[in-house]
Amino acid sequence: MQFDNHDARIRYFELLLERGDLDGIPVYPLPSGYRFCFYRPGDRDAWITIEQSAKEFSSYAQGLDAWGRYYEGKDEELAQRMIFIENAQGEKIATATAFYDIYGRDASDAGWLHWVAVRRDMQGRGLSKPLIAYTLMRMRELGYTHAKVPTQTNTWLACRIYLDFGFRPVPENAVNSYDGWRIVRALTAHPALEGFPPAQPEEIVNRE
């Protein structure tokens, strides 16, 4: 069975990865015709549009709710932390944010890589790795020494990219979402997950 890069058929598990340091981040230049820019007041709807296109939200209202929980009233912070990629026409087509744990439960002082997304029609153009690398370097500039990134099994392809960047399962999450990591191992065959036996095909698909 072939799976989309954001596939609701896959059994859902919350995943959390960490990178122990922010030194030696690989450099991936943007393809010609694109540029990075930071958030400016009024960019909320551009953010929602990108995330909705990438299937993070099923509706504008859902995106508005997420914005309210994560970013409402934080324009000054976002101007230093929320990154977009623009195309040659000035359209914002990808985004990621160098943020922190908004719930205050993480005592590690890690930076948190938030809401990485590329607009659906712009995927496959070599934008995601430059975006992640740029955001991690920004995180380091903000004074963070290590990073975490939350994701889930149904965005398994993003998880593979995070593993490529040296992120590894947080030990507690490796236990609590053990079967989720087995699913990611089966879908990606990533060598960093050799300690997890791959899930069998019947274990991957949500049967509910």
Q: What is the pLDDT of residue 2?
A: 87
Q: What is the pLDDT of residue 104?
A: 84
Q: What is the pLDDT of residue 15?
A: 97
Give the chain's domains with CATH numbers: 1-20+146-208 (no CATH), 27-144 (3.40.630.30)
Q: Which residues pair with 126 in a beta bridge?
A: none
DSSP letter at 109 equals -
Cα three-residue angle 93-26-91, rounded to 5 degrees: 10
Q: Which residues pair with 19 in a beta bridge?
A: 147
Residue 38: phi, psi to the nearest 5?
-100, 160
Separation between Cα atoms, residue 38 and residue 19, nearest integer Å: 24
Q: What is the pLDDT of residue 208?
A: 66
**Which tokens sit at 164?**
């490529």
Q: Going residue by residue through the chain, which has 208 residues, state the pLDDT in tens, using 9 for 90 and above.
A: 788 889 899 999 999 999 999 999 998 999 999 999 999 999 999 999 999 999 999 999 999 999 999 999 999 999 999 999 999 999 999 999 999 999 888 888 999 999 999 999 999 999 999 999 999 999 999 999 999 999 999 999 999 999 999 999 999 999 999 999 999 999 999 999 999 999 999 999 987 6
Q: Within 13 Å of residue 201, how many CA atoms lie on the same side as its CB? A: 3
